[in-house]
Structure 1
Amino acid sequence: MPLLLDTIKRPRDIRKLKLSELPLLAEEVRREIIEVVSHRGGHLGSNLGVVDLTIALHYVFDIENDVVTWDVSNQTYTHKILTGRRERFPTLRQQHGISGFANREESPYDPFTFGHAGTAISTAVGIVSGDELTGRNRKVIAVVGDGAMTCGVSYEALNNCGASKKNILVILNDNTMSISRTVGAMSNYLNDLRTAPLYNELKSEIHEMLNKLPVVGHPIEEGLETIRRSLKATVGNNLFSALGFHYYGPINGHDLPLLVRTLRNLKRQKKPILLHLITQKGKGHPDAGSDPHALHGVTPRRAETKIEVKTLPAKKPYTKVFAESLIRLAERDNRIVAVTAAMPEGTGLIEFEKRFPSRFFDVGICEQHAVGLAAGLAHVGLRPVAAIYSTFLQRAYDQVFQELCLQKLPVVIAMDRAGIVGADGATHNGLFDIAYLRTFPNIVLTAPRDAEELDAMLAFALTLDVPTAIRYPRTDIPDFSSLQIARTPIRLGKAEVLTTGADGAILAYGSMVETALAASAALSREGIDLCVVNARFVKPLDTGIVRELLTEQPFLLLMEEHSSAGGFCSAVMEAAVQLGLDTRKMKPLALADKFLEHGDRKNLLQAQGLDPESVVALVKTLAVAKPRARRTNIRV
């Protein structure tokens, strides 16, 4: 039997369907999303929750002319399927496939490439303002989740839009969760709106009565507005109305006939409108009711064959090691507190919250506030650890500058997802943190090579009296137990020599130590012995080791999993120039100065020349092999 989906090749095709066919279309879309995500991984719960809303938007509005901005945009799978990308949907989140987020390079129906929260309303207001200046007539809709309503920038946009009376429709998709359960006073406020019985009962009765009346011109419209104002006066105003928006809802976000009827009514109005929908994260999936959080980020059920790269055996993810280390330290020091911005699961702090609920702070999607809060906690003598993804810490740049560095407050920033994150792509890669942090005085920047070093660095950072940022990637930690390497204590600004050799040197930072050692082991079998050094710190940098390596070695290869602009390699080369050393011996090896696409982390590193095989090939062009293999302290 042909699917309704088979008839939809472009956005306008959905409007050829009967209203009664839309629920069946929603079932087909949900089945397709579940099938693809089970194989490719992705954001399952959020997408299943907005299938009905997305179908209604496409059915009522002219998506080929009107504009929809999606906050975060990880919930745009249905939108992709309905805008001509269904055939490519099985390539979701794969290298060279379609993105798991809205992507303006991918489709003209994605106005922005998004991945962060709090973005949809501001950009929608900008589009509306531009349309007013250019005389363009279209409807602009911003779809935001209740998690995004914890972002301050969302209210900045609402405040501006409501005051200027812009013709915009903001749809609040309220499923009580962003990634974790939404927190804060706004979450409680939205819950009050959902459950206010008098408001909803009166509104339902009046709507039922009004739907029976013929709408004939301005007098009746003015009368309806009077009734609406009277209703609000009876049960109290709300925040959105106070911000200048005409508030409608909450309504069932899975009732397609109701959604279509409501959107058609609101489409005719030219004023700031906020429509509040109640949806279920994971709607249509068996686990939606029992474990909606598990449906947020789903891993592939059946992994595709990947290019195998021989590296050292892996153990736990960095995130888990960080979380376990922090709990152990907190057991011994009751001054240690943890701060996160709506990421207790992603940063590994969920167990810390269970163990030390009074010492745990989840501020919602508010990275600026998270850093400011941490500063206040440090001011009174506590030792805060703020666990924030590298890409999201960018949002708190000014707070790191003023609240932390200028005050010299001892806050530890645990920067998870530093480097390539893989399938989430450009908006989530952590490629810029070294560059944007090392410009500040009074901050320590460090990166571990393995689990033991992460544990030691965290403990060391908690003894310092200045801000410290520890970066680590979204990957498993390598196991160096097969290598006979003596571990040296952490000392501020001091590197660690791992292997000795006279045929060249590699100075690697953080995650690239694993690659450097794997390449060095392979090269030693061909008679090329390298000195491999674990940099440990980029600020303060070990200028002594830089001088030694450039003086004694024929070449120095620098390695980092960070943008080539302003990162570790740049810091070393700047230091070499200041020391008056021969920089011609140096070869930087970093990620390209561009936004990297989504895909498998290992494959992306390989494409950037940061895999062991590529490093081996590069070193062979820099070094001359000896006629015999020399002894090395690496056992392979």
Structure 2
Amino acid sequence: MGEYKLLSTIKSPEDVKKIKSEDVPSLCTEIREKLVEVVSVNGGHLSPNLGVVELTVAMHRSFDFPKDSLVWDVGHQSYTHKLLTGRFSKFDTLRQKDGISGFPKRAESIYDDFNTGHSSTSISAAFGIANAKLLSGDQSHTIAVIGDGSFTGGLAFEAMNNAGRFNKNFIVVLNDNKMSISKNVGAIPRYLTTVRIQPWYIRVKRGTEKILTKIPVIGWGIKGVLRRSKSKIKNLVYKNTLFDCFGFTYLGPIDGHNVEELENAFTAAKKSRTPVLVHVVTKKGKGYQPAEDNPGEFHGIGQFDIDSGEPISSHKGFSAEFGKTMCEFAQTDDKLCAITAAMTGGTGLNEFSKQYKNRFFDVGIAEEHAVTFGCGLASKGMRPVFAVYSTFLQRAYDQLIHDAALGDLHLVLAVDRAGIVGADGETHQGVFDVSMLNSIPNTTVFSPTYFDGLRMSMYEALYNQEGLAVVRYPRGGELYKPEGFGEESTDYNIYGDTNADYLIVTYGRMFSYAARAYGLLKEQGVNVCLLKLCKIKPINSETVEYAKGFKSVWFFEEGIKNGGIARTFSDMLTHVGFTGNYHLKAIHDKFVKQMSVNEALKMLKLDSEGMTEVVIKDLANEKKT
């Protein structure tokens, strides 16, 4: 790619300020070349980052970081920020094990003011930072950058409502690219559209004030009255926006790809004695044609060919199989509804959204609302399915308890990306949903291993269960499947040497690794039987009675140990009088850092070799005692 003559000289934001104005476009071009070069190899969030190059450059030229504070909402669009804050030399390690993160990390740089990964949090966090500064006498600025997609989340409005009473030095940058991951929906995107196409606001406001102040004697008085007035006259003259109603001074819309205009807007914002919202309009995927043409496809992408934009590898995954299954069921079930929180494509619901438009609901980035909305559908006899990534389901814990389970309403959750997800790191690992759901009464959870099991589990959850029913499945596609093995039951399956003294229990894709470990152990003279759970809550008592007959039992779980299924299984074994040895291998009280899925499972000893090593070591220790 490029030689990066300008970009390679930047070690801090001070160097960005030294770039001549006429050289800024060249710097932005170099940044885009570097983004495409690295993401094409490492994967990552390309479209969001290409869209904020000029915006990021302008902020680093206008503010004094790290004295001023910058909080990125979600943080997946902070790559340019990293390049401009001393991380150019390490940028090739983006999203790799022991490399720089794809999200802001306080431990990584003094320029990363707040750890982010989920949406709609930036204004709340930044407002907290601004108040902490005020209490300590710090007069520096605090900036929150939030996308129009994240602005559909309720937390953003809670923060806006609270922050409108602040005095100064607090700035919200609304990055309006007309998208989140899927196309934005709802009233807020429609409102922003009307603002974008009517850039009269500042001109009318300034023009009116200028005219009024020139009227002898009474002009200044009228101006003051209008400013203080709560009447319709004020609205007619000043054309108030929604943001003014929150107490923010509105600046915009600003061309998000014009650095000079952006710098002027930030200069004006810094002079305001009220909180300011700077409305910036950008193009997602800007500067790389394949990403401009398909911004959703390049929002989060794996390796791809730079020239063509085509993915280097692709395979049919559980998300696609789920979407196919939903369409099949919907053909004969006119009560079946699908809900997503701005993740139509990611959860495999594109085709459903086209075939069954009236029964498809994208609620925006609002998981809490999605669950309660689904409960409302269920209360009137519909069959709602909320498709959501495991990591984002965490945000709706209260609604799952209060509105779904406690209300005894039949809501189905399709939990995608369950388990380790890889390079997105701690904020996106799907390892908490089982412990979370395991604590909720009136809940049934299925965790199939293969596509057949997914289809059977979905049918069971939809038509043979009551209350809250969950089907969880991993990122990617099917893994190793023993010859002749089939998921014949949505309760449990048994595989291997049924006469063995040793038993391995697991569920989900861990069974594929356990099945390979079965062969590795056999090569070392250790015969084991495998018990694969599909319904993991409630656990079928037959499986516990079956496990009771073995001398030693190992439970391997791709999730948090505390509150997990392995712990529940252990309690049930003890209750039925099991006297053998029980070994539990799960994720113990820690976050799993960014690395590939294979690297993470190897580190956790949850891959085939790791399982084999654990069993051999435990057997050796048993013999010593």
TM-score (norm 1): 0.89
Q: Is the 8 A contact 1:503 1:528 kept in 2?
A: no
Give the distance between the partners of 2:234 and 2:263, measured in 1 at CA.
24
Give secondary structure in 2 for the equivalent of 1:266.
helix
> What's the counterpart of residue 310 of structure 1?
none
What letter is aligned with 1:592? H
What letter is aligned with 1:440? I
More moved, 256-265 vs 179-188: 256-265
Give secondary structure in 1 for the equivalent of 2:132.
helix
Which whole-Å deviations, capped at 9, do the CAs of 1:21-59 have from their partners, x for residues lacking one? 222211111111111111111111110111111111111
Shift of 1:246: 0.7
> What's the counterpart of residue 6 of structure 1?
8
Whether 2:396 is the aligned partner of 1:393: answer no
**Shift in CA distance, 126/183, structure 1 to aligned 2, threshold 3 Å:** same
Give secondary structure in 2 for the equivalent of 1:515.
helix
Give the distance between the partners of 2:441 and 2:82, measured in 1 at CA.
45
Q: Give the alignment partner of residue 597 of structure 1, picking from 579, 583, 593.
A: 593
Shift of 1:61: 0.6
> What's the counterpart of residue 541 of structure 1?
539
**Shift in CA distance, 232/33, structure 1 to aligned 2, threshold 3 Å:** farther
> What's the counterpart of residue 175 of structure 2?
173
Shift of 1:372: 0.5
Q: Is the 8 A contact 1:315 1:477 kept in 2?
A: no
> What's the counterpart of residue 97 of structure 1?
99
> What's the counterpart of residue 189 of structure 1?
191
**Shift in CA distance, 138/200, structure 1 to aligned 2, threshold 3 Å:** closer
Which whole-Å deviations, capped at 9, do the CAs of 1:533-572 have from their partners, x for residues lacking one? 111122111233223313x212101011111221121211
> What's the counterpart of residue 242 of structure 1?
245
Shift of 1:378: 0.6
> What's the counterpart of residue 368 of structure 2?
368
Counterpart mapping for 1:297-446 below 5 A? 297-301=300-304, 316-446=316-446
Shift of 1:321: 1.3
**Shift in CA distance, 204/5, structure 1 to aligned 2, threshold 3 Å:** farther
Give secondary structure in 2 for the equivalent of 1:316.
coil
> What's the counterpart of residue 81 of structure 1?
83
**Shift in CA distance, 623/501, structure 1 to aligned 2, threshold 3 Å:** farther
Q: Give the alignment partner of residue 147 of structure 1, picking from 146, 149, 160.
A: 149
Which whole-Å deviations, capped at 9, do the CAs of 1:151-186 have from their partners, x for residues lacking one? 000000000000344531000000000111111011
Q: Is the 8 A contact 1:125 1:166 kept in 2?
A: no
What letter is aligned with 2:466? D
> What's the counterpart of residue 138 of structure 1?
140
Q: Give the alignment partner of residue 528 of structure 1, picking from 511, 526, 532.
A: 526
> What's the counterpart of residue 557 of structure 1?
554
> What's the counterpart of residue 570 of structure 2?
573
What letter is aligned with 1:570? R
Q: Is the 8 A contact 2:494 2:529 kept in 1?
A: yes
Give the distance between the partners of 2:525 and 2:155, measured in 1 at CA.
58
Instruction: State, as a whole percentage, how many aligned pairs show the same letter.
Output: 39
What letter is aligned with 2:298? L
Whether 2:41 is the aligned partner of 1:45: answer no
What letter is aligned with 1:619? V
Give secondary structure in 1 for the equivalent of 2:115.
coil
Give secondary structure in 2 for the equivalent of 1:159.
helix
Which whole-Å deviations, capped at 9, do the CAs of 1:548-603 have from their partners, x for residues lacking one? 313x2121010111112211212112223333433x61111112321111111011
Give secondary structure in 2 for the equivalent of 1:375.
helix
Whether 2:38 is the aligned partner of 1:36: answer yes
Shift of 1:134: 1.5
Shift of 1:291: 2.0
Give the distance between the partners of 1:224 and 1:250, measured in 2 at CA.
26
Q: Is the 8 A contact 2:452 2:487 kept in 1?
A: no
The number of residue pairs the alignment matches comes to 599
Which whole-Å deviations, capped at 9, do the CAs of 1:213-269 have from their partners, x for residues lacking one? 9xxxxx99x989979999963363211111111111111011111111221121122
Give secondary structure in 2 for the equivalent of 1:160.
helix
Q: Is the 8 A contact 2:448 2:509 kept in 1?
A: yes
**Shift in CA distance, 42/225, structure 1 to aligned 2, threshold 3 Å:** farther
Give the distance between the partners of 1:453 and 1:486, measured in 2 at CA.
8
More moved, 63-72 vs 563-572: 563-572
TM-score (norm 2): 0.91
Q: Give the alignment partner of residue 295 of structure 1, picking from 285, 288, 298.
A: 298
Give the distance between the partners of 1:333 and 1:370, measured in 2 at CA.
21
Give the distance between the partners of 1:112 and 1:235, measured in 2 at CA.
36
Q: Is the 8 A contact 2:444 2:537 kept in 1?
A: yes
Q: Is the 8 A contact 1:449 1:513 kept in 2?
A: yes
Give the distance between the partners of 1:315 and 1:520, measured in 2 at CA.
26
Q: Is the 8 A contact 1:339 1:384 kept in 2?
A: yes
Q: Is the 8 A contact 2:417 2:473 kept in 1?
A: yes
Give secondary structure in 1 for the equivalent of 2:300.
coil
More moved, 427-436 vs 469-478: 469-478
Q: Is the 8 A contact 2:251 2:279 kept in 1?
A: yes
Give secondary structure in 2 for the equivalent of 1:402.
helix
Shift of 1:395: 0.7
More moved, 30-39 vs 285-294: 285-294
Q: Is the 8 A contact 1:592 1:608 kept in 2?
A: no
Give secondary structure in 1 for the equivalent of 2:384.
strand
**Shift in CA distance, 206/381, structure 1 to aligned 2, threshold 3 Å:** same
> What's the counterpart of residue 468 of structure 2?
467
> What's the counterpart of residue 478 of structure 2?
477
**Shift in CA distance, 164/9, structure 1 to aligned 2, threshold 3 Å:** closer
> What's the counterpart of residue 289 of structure 2?
286
Give secondary structure in 1 for the equivalent of 2:293.
coil
